[in-house]
Amino acid sequence: MEVTQVLLNAQSIDGAVRKNAEESLKHFQEQNLTGFLLLLSGELVSEEKPVETRKLAGLILKNALDAKDQQRKVELVQRWLSLDGNAKSQIKAGLLKTLSSPASDARSTASQVIAKVAGIELPHKQWPELVGSLLSNVHQLPVHAKQATLETLGYLCEEVSPDVIDQDQVNKILTAVVQGMSASEGNADVRLAATRALYNALGFAQANFSNDMERDYLMRVVCEATLSPEVRIRQAAFECLVSISSTYYEKLAPYIQDIFNITAKAVREDEEPVALQAIEFWSSICDEEIDILEEYGGDFTGDSDIPCFYFIKQAIPALVPMLLETLLKQEEDQDQDEGAWNIAMAGGTCLGLVARTVGDDIVPLVVPFIEENITKQDWRQREAATYAFGSILEGPSPAKLIPLVNVALNFMLSALTKDPNSHVKDTTAWTLGRIFEFLHGSAVDSPIITQANCQQIVVVLLQSMKDTPNVAEKACGALYFLAQGYEEVGPSSPLTPFFQEIVQSLLTVTHREDARESRLRTAAYETLNEVVRCSTDETAPLVLQLVPVIIMELHNTVEGQKLSSDEREKQSELQGLLCGCLQVIIQKLGSSESTKYLFLQYADQIMGLFLSVFACRSATVHEEAMLAIGALAYATGPDFVKYMPEFYRYLEMGLQNFEEYQVCAVTVGVVGDICRALEEKVVPYCDGIMTQLLKNLSSNQLHRSVKPPIFSCFGDIALAVGEYFEKYLMWAMSALQSAAELSTHTTGDDELIEYINTLRNGILEAYSGIFQGFKNSPKTQLLIPYAPHILQFLDGIYMEKDMDDVVMKTAIGVLGDLADTLGSHAASLIQQSVSSKDFLNECLSSEDVMIKESAEWAKLAISRAISV
């Protein structure tokens, strides 16, 4: 194969030529992988070849080593490891040689490929000489090779985990990187590559950051780099500081004053990319302290691993004025631009985080700024003042904020309609939303919304929903939180008199020509959903009237006409919103017997529409329709059986959707809804469902988060069909047993432990459902052989002492179900188990009502079982 020509063809503007070239590359790769890879590395290393083919050869090589898909990635790793050793040595030598190439694209591509190979080989103790040979390069080579080598070290640190490189090599890497960063390095490209490499190497420097001298040195080099004349280096250096702020928060105390000075100067004087990173440093410190303080739980005897140094509290006298200055640097049209991110936005966001970190203390520092600017002629000052006010509404106590809000509310309401500047109105509407979100609701003692101003607020927000899309979207957001605040208001809501008008206005917004801008339509439907969710029985008839309206809207979207791809996207977005809205309505009306019966007259129509919506290919729409169908099944009860013949294939499709695992997870939940609705009438569909669920469990392509709900679903099915579950019992029990063995012991981070507990809960819910399903059936004895293992599982997780409350409640319930169903057959087994004594006693004395209730049930069932 004339590889250069093929690689050139593969980048041709002629589609046919390109396709042909891609085909022959694919063909060759399948025929002879080793030869193919050698050919590519030969192309990459050769100085005679054109840069574009060298670069493409490198990229194909890289893609042969790594993939986004986890499954594919594992395959590629295995494939590389099993390749012929000589060929691999030859490829690797070529890659290292390319680092010295005069062609920068070739060098840069080689850097990335080397890191990928290292990512595979170093954990297997292969290529031990790599780091050594890279380091020797740094000291000997021409400048461009030095730059490429430092870049390679950076990629390498990004690719491999710190534990596969020993401390000696880490020290050497850091030394090389820090030398490359220092002011004495004359070449800016080398210095930039070194600074970016340090960013990735910081995770390797645990030991070095624990040593005072080494840490001082590292910090000094980073701080010096923030003063470099080259803007890219300054930016990269601040990125390092941001990363250090979260990775080494507890080591920062000696440097924080200097860092403040550096960041303040950058925020005030430097170019925007640098200033943004400087602000981000403080936002990141806020994140850390908010986390730590949350773990303290507001009580200072608390036990966070990391102490809080209160950097923000100490810094606010200087930090807050600095952030307030940034608010005045708005861009003209930032509110219309979805992707905008500028210094004013970053500064305001940071101010909000500071308010959450320090609480009341921020208020006196911000109020003078608001008072001074809120009425100024220049829109920038009015907007900045409003934004400052909106930013500090979360964090300080209501007692501190409510007097301010009581003064400001009228001003805000009038600004929302009368201010000539759209930017000011946008921020004003957002601030009103924040006021309602944090200071309005049953949890707040002195209400800011009274009979006197409620009507005015509603009128102003509804009027504002006719404003430009970005302002209207914020007004919808404010209405969302206004409604939410009345969620627990009791039988009569202050919004009742306006309900009809609110709903009508929101529907009008969804029909605006420009409703797709600033996600206005989405906001309008979301607000409609919240208004419905928080409505009271008084307005139930009005919610019922909304049903045919939304049905008609959805009906209009499924009318079969040929659509362009843009129109199709628009249509599925709308279908998703409408299915979501119907779901909320179904749940609302279905929760009360009286409204349920009236609503159910629409059930056939709605179900028909949901089925036709499945014809569209959008995962979001499928998910929304599924969720809505689950709610419908719950409301309909046994009558849902009439929809099953048609619906079943979509149910099966959902269960098979591994790629969009959210759809799969939601469908598993809907199977549960259907089981509870149909009870034994679900039997004809169980073979298909159980087969698919068992298949899903054994697949390693399915996202792990779907597996616990599948186990719970076994329980739902067993409870619904009773002894009919016998035909699946062996398979289900064997899947449960192996999952139980895996989840008895936990090792790993918090996230893994949380997952394991979810898994345990799913397994236990399955056992409960199966036991209760077989109860009072002559086939109960089929369960006896499984009892020892289940009791062993209960004992095992009890001994581990890392159950959460949910698992504890389910686990003790299973003990009761086992005793209840097996009775005297299991009496001696139960008496031998730890669970029936220590675990049960612990649960009986639990302060959690649900655990206690389950435990009392278990106690009763056990005493019955052992007394016979």
Partner 1 sequence: MAPHDIRRPFKRAAISDQQKRRELSLLRQAQNRRDAQQQARCLASSILSLQSAAPESQPEQSDIELETVPEAEQESEAFSKDLDVRQASKLRGPEVRKWFARQLMLPEWMIDVPDRLAQDWYVFARPAGKRCFVVSSNGTTVSRQRNGSILHHFPSALPAGAKIRDGSGSAQSYCILDCIFHELDQTYYVIDMVCWNGYSLYDCTAEFRFYWLNSKLEESGACNAPSHYHKFRFSAVPVYNCDQSGLHAAYTGVVPYAKDGLLFYNKHALYQTGNTPLALVWKDENCSQFVIDTDGKGEIPSQQQVVLELQDDRKLVTSDDPPVLFGCLDGDIIEKSGLHTGNLLRFAIGDGGLSFVDGKLEKADLIYLGKSNRARAFADSYSKGFQLKSL
Q: Of 9 and 112, which has the nearer Cβ to partner 1? A: 112
Binding to partner 1, residues 574-633 (CB under 8 A)? 580, 583-584, 587, 591-595, 598, 620, 623-624, 627, 630-631
Nearest to 379 by CA among 335, 343, 349: 335
Give the binding range for partner 1 (CB under 8 A) out of 16-24, 159-167, 342-350, 725-733: 342-350
Binding to partner 1, residues 407-436 (CB under 8 A)? 426-427, 430
Nearest to 44 by CA among 27, 25, 60, 64: 60
Task: Check binding of 346 to partner 1 (CB under 8 A).
Answer: yes
What are the tokens at 528? 């409609």
Among the residues of 141-252, which ranges form H helices?
143-159, 167-181, 188-201, 206-210, 212-225, 231-247
Binding to partner 1, residues 454-493 (CB under 8 A)? 474, 477, 480, 490-491
Give the binding range for partner 1 (CB under 8 A) out of 5-13, 408-416, 661-669, 794-802: 661-669
Instruction: Quickly count helices (H) and strands (E) in the chain.
Output: 42, 0
Between CA 456 and CA 458 the distance in angstroms is 5
Task: Check binding of 236 to partner 1 (CB under 8 A).
Answer: yes
Q: Of 88 and 116, which has the nearer Cβ to partner 1? A: 116
- What is the Cα 548 distance to its own chain's centre? 35
Q: Of 595 and 696, which has the nearer Cβ to partner 1? A: 595
Pick from 385, 686, 719, 721: which binds partner 1 (CB under 8 A)? 719
Task: Check binding of 772 to partner 1 (CB under 8 A).
Answer: yes
**CB of residue 248 vs partner 1: minimum separation in angstroms?**
17
Q: Of 281 and 498, which has the nearer Cβ to partner 1? A: 281
What is the chain's percent helix, strand, coil content, to nearest 5? 80, 0, 20
Pick from 813, 818, 835, 843: which binds partner 1 (CB under 8 A)? 813
Between CA 369 and CA 571 the distance in angstroms is 46
Binding to partner 1, residues 4-63 (CB under 8 A)? none
User: Cα angle vertex 718, ends 714, 721, to 5°?
Assistant: 135
Exposed, middle or buried, 661 (CB in 10 Å: 0-12/13-18/19+)? middle
**Please, what's the b/e burial string for 161-177 (b: 16 or more CB within 10 A of its CB; e: otherwise)?**
eeeebeeebbebbbebb
Roughly what angle, to the nearest 10 degrees, separates helices 565-590 and 520-533?
Answer: 10
Q: Of 631 and 797, which has the nearer Cβ to partner 1? A: 631
Task: Check binding of 537 to partner 1 (CB under 8 A).
Answer: yes
Between CA 859 and CA 679 the distance in angstroms is 28
70 Cβ contact list (under 8 Å, min separation 6): none
- What is the Cα 22 distance to its own chain's centre? 36
Q: Of 448 and 674, which has the nearer Cβ to partner 1? A: 674
Nearest to 281 by CA among 332, 336, 347, 328: 347
**CB of residue 323 vs partner 1: minimum separation in angstroms?**
14
Task: Check binding of 864 to partner 1 (CB under 8 A).
Answer: yes
CA neighbours closer than 13 Å in the CB half-sphere of residue 161: 3
Binding to partner 1, residues 120-179 (CB under 8 A)? 151, 154-155, 158
Task: Check binding of 383 to partner 1 (CB under 8 A).
Answer: no
**CB of residue 670 vs partner 1: minimum separation in angstroms?**
9
Give the binding range for partner 1 (CB under 8 A) out of 8-16, 270-278, 355-363, 507-515: 270-278
Q: Of 239 and 270, which has the nearer Cβ to partner 1? A: 239
Binding to partner 1, residues 489-508 (CB under 8 A)? 490-491
What are the tokens at 44? 């990459």
Task: Check binding of 634 to partner 1 (CB under 8 A).
Answer: yes
Task: Check binding of 90 to partner 1 (CB under 8 A).
Answer: no
Pick from 98, 768, 833, 836: which binds partner 1 (CB under 8 A)? 768
Between CA 668 and CA 766 the distance in angstroms is 13
Give the binding range for partner 1 (CB under 8 A) out of 442-450, 740-748, 749-757, 765-773: 765-773
Q: Of 40 and 641, which has the nearer Cβ to partner 1? A: 641
Between CA 277 and CA 225 the distance in angstroms is 14
Between CA 12 and CA 687 the distance in angstroms is 52
Between CA 532 and CA 536 the distance in angstroms is 9
Binding to partner 1, residues 280-299 (CB under 8 A)? 280, 283
Task: Check binding of 777 to partner 1 (CB under 8 A).
Answer: no
Do 517 and 469 meet the contact criterion of CB atoms below 8 Å apart?
A: yes
727 Cβ contact list (under 8 Å, min separation 6): none
Residue 405's identity, in one-letter code, is V
Between CA 6 and CA 392 the distance in angstroms is 60
Length of the chain: 868
Q: Of 77 and 264, which has the nearer Cβ to partner 1? A: 264
Q: Of 219 and 627, which has the nearer Cβ to partner 1? A: 627
**CB of residue 43 vs partner 1: minimum separation in angstroms?**
24
Q: Of 490 and 560, which has the nearer Cβ to partner 1? A: 490
Give the binding range for partner 1 (CB under 8 A) out of 35-43, 67-75, 277-285, 829-837: 277-285
Q: Of 349 and 508, which has the nearer Cβ to partner 1? A: 349
Between CA 497 and CA 456 the distance in angstroms is 13
Q: Of 98 and 522, which has the nearer Cβ to partner 1? A: 522
Between CA 453 and CA 409 the distance in angstroms is 10
Do 620 and 572 meet the contact criterion of CB atoms below 8 Å apart?
A: yes
Task: Check binding of 247 to partner 1 (CB under 8 A).
Answer: no
Q: Of 559 and 593, which has the nearer Cβ to partner 1? A: 593
Pick from 159, 239, 288, 383: which binds partner 1 (CB under 8 A)? 239
Between CA 180 and CA 190 the distance in angstroms is 6
Q: Spell out, one character per residue from 349 to 378, where the chain touches partner 1: x when CB under 8 A holds, - when not.
A: x-----------------------------
Pick from 137, 386, 529, 846: which binds partner 1 (CB under 8 A)? 529
Q: Of 40 and 675, which has the nearer Cβ to partner 1? A: 675
